Copies of this chain bind each other. A is one copy, B any other.
Amino acid sequence: MHSKTYERLCQHAQETALLSATQSLLFWDERTMLPSAGAEYRAKQTAHLAGLIHNRQTAPEVGQWLAELIDSPLAADRHSDQGATIRQLKRLYDKQTRLPQTLVEQLAAMEVTGQRAWAEARRNNDFAAFATHLERIVDLSRQKANAYGCDECCYDALLDDYEPGATTAQVAEVLDGLRAELVPLVAEIAASGRKPNTSILRRHFPMETQEAFCREAAAAIGFDFAAGRLDVTDHPFCCDITPGDCRITTRYDEEFFPGAFFGVLHEAGHGMYEQGLREEFFGLPPGQSVSLGIHESQSRMWENLVARSQAFWRWLFPSARNAFPAALGNVASDEFYFAINDVEPSLIRVEADEATYNLHIIIRFELEQSLLEGDLSVADLPAAWNDKYEQYLGVRPETDADGVLQDIHWSAGLIGYFPTYTLGNLYAAQLFEKADSDIGPLAEHFSRGEFAGLLKWLRQHIHRRGMCCAPAELAEQVTGQTLSHQPLMRYLRTKLGPLYQLV
């Protein structure tokens, strides 16, 4: 009886997943292939499909199946695939059905108008033109949090969409600890007087060679091109469509090497997580990624802990010099390694280095909480933004376009999303430390161009676990440690100490 219901539930979810996969293809195509004149109808296609998917996901029969199953023996073992499937689908169903239809529609409409208003405001460096939209976004986000149910703190309810089970208090504690150590580290580096020659990265790197070089590196670390693609877009992303079809994207700047290269390895890290999910659970929680934070831990690990390591370039630098003889012919491996690890406080998040990046995130995390709780008004936001940049990074934006208007997230209604970027860095350091102790020294693998050991470890401990439990729980099971700022700080100090000759 229960198992019939369970089968029905799974079949329903997997059929919905086929539609979601189609939605993903529409998105990928829009960002890489769509002719300009096709945009209007693409929006209609997407909206219609979104409606179909939402209707399926919130269908009353799904609620009935879940109500029957949640207290059945099938759900008893919360760590079994069946148990995880039932509990996670119930969690998602409850969240989705708690939002009133009118609020869903208001949020969807706001996403479109908000992004449009933001793009224009940024272009014109005119925060005031975006302010009323942002007020509405904060208000609707508060309504959303209330609809989900706010126990202690509204931000919790929003954060849970991206990092299930994480609480604001826990995240704030870890990020406070991180900030307390990062701010002085960044200051120490600035005071060291050491500075790499980053001009070697701004020479001419022909696009077709870059493309081939990125493709080979992504394949070398383990991205499977028989089950994926690499294409060009304006704002790079990774798009998983179905098992066997995961597409990464990048953009090339012929006068700047790191942009595309580390971008591709970052997206490949996301892609390898998707490629490592269990295909037989397509469309079901055991076959889905557990959270944005853990997803980001995979991309950041391959981008930074692997591809910005000295060992990695001991292996790859000779090939880079062969591929780009005019740009790198007279450059030494260690000179290159220092240049790609330049730490320099800056205004723009997406251009930030490994160390300062997290301060950009902490600023956003603190500000969006204040907005949501009503402690900060939208009108006062630009000044608060600039003050925090000065306080944490020692730099002050001269324009809002280079300040509070730089990111699209808030305009798209994504409040509670930013901390997952730094959670990714934290989890990456923590998982990497454990992998290194289990199967390392990993640096020796990398210096031989071997990445299969690390990938296998991640497959086993992260990818194949899917959404078996909350992300923090998964990381703790794997590493034996709760989330903390210490592994990331250890990693940064160990790496940056020698480069900047810190004592």
In the complex, how many angstroms separate the beta carbon of A44 from the nearest chain B beta carbon? 6
Q: Considering the complex, which residues of chain A in the window 205-247 have a beta carbon less than 8 Å from any beta carbon of chain B? A: 224-229, 241-245
The contact of A39 among B19, B36, B244, by CB within 8 Å, is: B244
A50 vs chain B, min Cβ distance (A): 11
Contacts of A25 in B (CB 8 A): 25-26, 29
Residues in B with CB closer than 8 Å to A35 are 225-229, 244-245
Give the nearest-CB partner of A16 in chain B.
B48
Closest to A47 in B: B18
Is A15 part of the binding interface, using a Cβ–Cβ cutoff of 8 Å?
A: yes
Residues of B within 8 A of A19 (CB): 48-49
The verdict on A18 contacting B40 (CB below 8 Å), with A33-B229, A35-B226, A35-B228 known, is no
Which among A228, A244, A282 has the highest number of chain B CB atoms within 10 Å?
A: A244
A37: B residues at CB distance < 8 A:
224, 226-227, 243-245
**Which residues from chain B contact A42 at a C-beta distance below 8 Å?**
242, 245
| Contacts A18-B45, A21-B45 given; does A36 touch B242 at CB 8 Å | no
CB < 8 Å neighbour of A41 from B38, B229, B282: B282
Q: Mark A250-280, 1 if CB is under 8 A from B, else 0.
A: 0000000000000000000000000000000
Chain B: which residue is nearest A45 at the CB level? B18
Give Cα distance in the complex from A21 to B41, angstroms.
Answer: 9
| A22 part of interface (Cβ distance < 8 Å) | yes
Number of chain A residues whose Cβ lies closer than 8 Å to a Cβ of chain B: 35
Restricting to A58-72, which residues have a CB under 8 Å from any CB of B?
none
Question: Contacts A35-B225, A35-B229: A242 and B41 contacting too (C-beta < 8 A)?
Answer: yes
Asked if B41 and A22 make an inter-chain contact with CB atoms under 8 angstroms apart, the answer reads no
**Bound complex: CA of A37 vs CA of B282, how far in Å?**
14
Given A41-B282, A48-B15, A282-B41, is A245 in contact with B22 using a C-beta cutoff of 8 Å? no
Cα distance, A282 to B19, chains bound together (Å) = 22
CB of B18 within 8 A of CB of A245, answer no
Asked if A34 is an interface residue, CB under 8 A from chain B, the answer is yes
A45 to B42, CA, bound (A): 18
Residue of B whose beta carbon sits closest to that of A33 = B229
A38 touches B241 (CB 8 A): yes
Chain B CB within 10 A, most for which of A19, A26, A35, A44: A35
Chain B neighbourhood of A244, CB < 8 A = 35-41
A224: chain B residues within 8 A (beta carbon): 37
Min C-beta distance of A267 to chain B, whole Å: 15
Q: In chain A, residues 277-297, which have Cβ atoms closer than 8 Å to a Cβ of chain B?
A: 282
A40 to B242, CA, bound (A): 9
> Complex Cα distance A38/B37, Å?
28
| Smallest CB gap from A241: residue in B | B38
> Can you give 20 contacting A-B residue pairs, CB < 8 Å?
A15-B48, A19-B48, A19-B49, A21-B41, A33-B33, A33-B229, A35-B225, A35-B227, A35-B228, A35-B229, A35-B244, A36-B227, A38-B241, A38-B242, A38-B243, A41-B242, A41-B243, A41-B245, A45-B242, A52-B52
The 10 closest A-B CB pairs, nearest first, are A38-B245, A37-B244, A41-B242, A37-B227, A38-B244, A18-B48, A18-B45, A37-B226, A35-B227, A36-B226
